[in-house]
């Protein structure tokens, strides 16, 4: 395995062995083409290492391994309790290796280490353990239709699942998909984002150590246009689950139609955060900051449109600007004092700066930020942007309507509850939303009328793996997490038993 791994020392001094191959059938292999992906440290723009990129032929091999494992008694006939215990063991192994996994995540992605360790890895552990507990509680039912027929249902796995994960939460999104799929007895071919290829490969060794049979989980890196498209179109894959942009989600829907795959999509968002005049303003300020500025603003549910009642509009902007300046410390993601690290790639960095220019051109008011930050660990290097606030934003402006995916927020005012709802719902997206008010009747009334898959009342983006997650409109299809997440990875078979009816 010497040519399929490399010894690395991360910026925080942690040394570890980084796998660089494709994980197929519980073995590390090179790609058939020899093509590699180079991972770039977004903090200083240096190369970390290169890993093998899967070709169409490699996807074929991974699917064949997954299909064989699906039918193999070692997995097919495993008692659900044993399957669940294996998942719980994987959760324990993640806990043992949490500091290394968090280090890789921060190095490869740019998110702050405190979030990688205290947020993402906690979620990975919790999600795997949660669905491990569900593994032996997935069952059918008997249905009484009279004495002449005995009817019952069986819950079965969907089959071989292709899973394509994004770069903003590589390990957490992997856990969201691996958890319910494994609990239901499926086998998996999972592809990491080409921008963040490293942490999922380290996780692969833990999956093998936990005892999962060969072929149950196959992990590939690769380019979306080749490996991702091969997964979406593969006739040997029964389901595709994808998290990423709406544009890519639409392409996957088209490609997956070749054999009418079961699909789950979690795509883009432009989520509103509504603040009424009776809201507890200091809490609204703090939650609004978390809702858009955490994880460098690279969150699909980021509440990136703040709608404030006109009577408190100026006061909110004043307080929000001061809070962002105090809390959003930009810098080295491994430093304890840092709140915001770099954007994940140069492409994303340039995209955000492009939206800054668009906001200026359209006449919005730049309250603060919107500039390159050049005082990172290596002066003049790194994809850092100062947290950006625009006010006086109109619903017709590009920065109001399009997803930026960065530390970039727009603020607009409204007069009435009806106007707030019209503004909130005036979007092609419908993922998350938030409402701030001390009037519970209004809170529930507005929550019911907002066109979104999720509504936070007096908070923002405090998601939980036990609660369903997903959107409406062009923000996706289906739900992940919670008990609802199991539905995407199981199917119901009905069995009719003739108890004596003669014809």
Query: Could you list the active site residues?
Result: 266
- CA 119 to CA 137: how far, in whole Å? 28
Taking CA atoms, 16 is separated from 95, 205, 422, in Å, by: 16, 13, 52
- 499 DSSP assignment: S
Q: What is the torsional sign of CA 343, 347, 348, 350?
A: positive
User: From the CB of residue 372, how many other CB atoms can be counted at a distance below 10 Å?
Assistant: 13
**Inter-residue contact 297 to 304 (CB < 8 Å):** yes
Strand partners, 371: none
- Residues 446, 450, 455, 459, CA torsion sign: negative
Tokens of 388: 């950006």
Which residue is it, tokens 């999922």?
Answer: 200
Please give the backbone phi and psi of residue 138, each rounded to the nearest 5 degrees, phi first.
-105, 110
Rounded Cα gap, residues 105 and 111, in angstroms: 7
Length of the chain counted residue by residue: 503
Query: Which string of b and e fits 279-312 if b means at least 16 CB within 10 Å?
Result: bebeebbbbbbbbbbbbbbbbbbbbbbbbbbeeb
What gap in Å lies between CA 210 and CA 237, rounded to an integer? 25
Rg of the chain taking only CA atoms, in angstroms: 24
Residue 145 structure tokens: 């239709």
- Listed in sequence order, the residues at least 6 apart from 12 whose beta carbon sits closer than 8 Å to its beta carbon are 103, 106, 113, 334
Query: Angle at the Cα of 112 (from 346 to 429), degrees rounded to 5?
Result: 65
Of 239, 279, 229, the closest CA to residue 259 belongs to: 239
Q: Identify the DSSP state of 405.
A: -
Q: Which two tokens stand for residue 361?
A: 């051109």
- Is the separation of the CB atoms in 193 and 37 below 8 Å? no
Count CB neighbours of 258 within 10 A. 11
**Most distant CA atoms of the chain, gap in Å:** 86
Distance between first and last Cα of the chain: 66
Q: How many angstroms separate the CA atoms of 56 and 34, rounded?
A: 12
């Amino acid at each position: 395995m010497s040519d399929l791994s490399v010894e690395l020392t991360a910026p925080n001094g942690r040394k570890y062995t980084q796998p660089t191959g494709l994980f197929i059938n519980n073995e590390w292999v090179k790609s058939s083409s020899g093509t590699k992906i180079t991972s770039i440290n977004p903090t200083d723009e240096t190369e970390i290492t290169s890993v093998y990129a899967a070709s169409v032929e490699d996807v074929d091999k991974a699917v064949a391994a997954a299909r064989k494992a699906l039918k193999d008694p070692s997995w097919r006939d495993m008692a659900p309790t044993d399957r669940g215990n294996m998942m719980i063991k994987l959760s324990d192994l993640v806990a043992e290796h949490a500091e290394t996994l968090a280090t890789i995540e921060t190095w490869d992605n740019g998110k702050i280490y405190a979030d990688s360790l205290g947020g993402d890895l906690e979620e990975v552990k919790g999600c795997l353990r949660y669905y491990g507990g569900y593994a032996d509680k997935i069952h059918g039912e008997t249905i009484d239709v009279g004495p002449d027929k005995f009817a019952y249902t069986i819950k079965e796995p969907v089959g071989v699942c292709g899973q394509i994960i994004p770069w903003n939460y590589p390990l957490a999104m992997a856990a969201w998909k691996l958890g319910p799929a494994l609990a239901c007895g499926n086998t998996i071919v999972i592809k990491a984002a080409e921008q963040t290829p490293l942490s999922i490969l380290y996780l692969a060794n833990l999956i093998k150590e936990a005892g999962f049979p060969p072929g149950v989980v196959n992990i590939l890196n690769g380019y979306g246009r080749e490996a991702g498209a091969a997964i979406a179109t593969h006739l040997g894959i029964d389901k595709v689950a994808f998290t990423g942009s709406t544009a890519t989600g639409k392409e996957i829907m088209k490609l997956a139609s070749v054999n009418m795959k079961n699909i789950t999509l979690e795509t883009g968002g432009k989520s509103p955060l509504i603040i009424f005049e009776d809201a507890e303003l200091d809490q609204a300020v703090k939650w609004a900051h978390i809702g858009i500025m955490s994880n460098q603003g690279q969150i699909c549910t980021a509440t990136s449109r703040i709608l404030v009642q006109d009577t408190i509009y100026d006061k909110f902007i004043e307080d929000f600007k001061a809070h962002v300046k105090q809390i959003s410390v930009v810098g080295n993601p491994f430093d304890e004092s840092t709140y915001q690290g770099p954007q994940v790639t140069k492409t994303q960095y340039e995209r955000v700066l492009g939206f800054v220019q668009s906001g200026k051109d359209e006449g919005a008011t730049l309250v603060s930020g919107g500039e390159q930050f050049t005082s990172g660990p290596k002066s003049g290097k790194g994809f850092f942007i100062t947290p950006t606030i625009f006010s006086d934003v109109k619903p017709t402006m590009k920065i109001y309507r399009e997803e930026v995916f960065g530390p970039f927020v727009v603020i607009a005012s409204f007069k009435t509850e009806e106007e707030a709802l019209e503004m909130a719902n005036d979007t092609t997206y419908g993922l998350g939303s938030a409402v701030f008010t001390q009037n519970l009747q209004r809170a529930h009334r507005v929550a019911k009328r907002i066109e979104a898959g999720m509504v936070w009342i007096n908070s923002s983006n405090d998601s939980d793996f036990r609660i369903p997650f997903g959107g409406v409109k062009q923000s996706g299809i289906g739900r992940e997490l919670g008990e609802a997440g199991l539905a995407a990875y199981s199917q119901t078979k009905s069995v009719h038993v003739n108890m004596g009816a003669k014809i």
